[in-house]
Amino acid sequence: MGNRIIPTILLLAALVSHSAVYIAGKAVQHASDINAETKRQNEIEAMARRDQEKLSRQLNAAIASLAAEQLKKQQVKTKEVIKYVDKYHKALPNTRDCINRSGLLKLNNVTTPTLPAATSRSNGATTITSKI
């Protein structure tokens, strides 16, 4: 019996040191294979995380650049509108200039015309007549 156990243990040791162990007809991965696979998965996840962070930084930089560019364009448009409005206001005469050009201030003793009204009563009703 002792002779049979030693070769079986050696066979098991050889199988364990190999990449897979078969228990009840199913392959079970060796611990070193699991560690290597886990390590590889961790490396892939870390690489994906780095790429995601890099792309996120690039996206944030692009958004900031676009916002700055749009703000700059808006400021330029605002300045152009202000220049146009100033130019337009300078081209339009003000109220005093309009009155001066019309000649209304040159008239002497200008009064508003009034129409004299005469009232008469007939049968209790008031009638207003005007003289022109």
pLDDT in the model for residue 43: 92
Distance CA(65)–CA(78), nearest Å, equals 20
The residue count of the chain comes to 132
Domain residue ranges of the chain, discontinuous segments joined by +: 11-109
Helices (H), 19-125: 31-91, 95-102
pLDDT in the model for residue 126: 55
Which residues does 83 contact at the CB level (< 8 Å), separation at least 6?
A: none
pTM above the 0.75 mark?
A: no
Which residues does 19 contact at the CB level (< 8 Å), separation at least 6?
A: 29, 30, 33
Nearest to 12 by CA among 33, 28, 34, 1: 28
User: Position of tokens 């207003």?
Assistant: 128
Q: Average pLDDT of each block of 10 consecutive residues along the chain (132 residues)?
A: 54 53 53 77 93 94 92 91 81 71 61 56 54 51
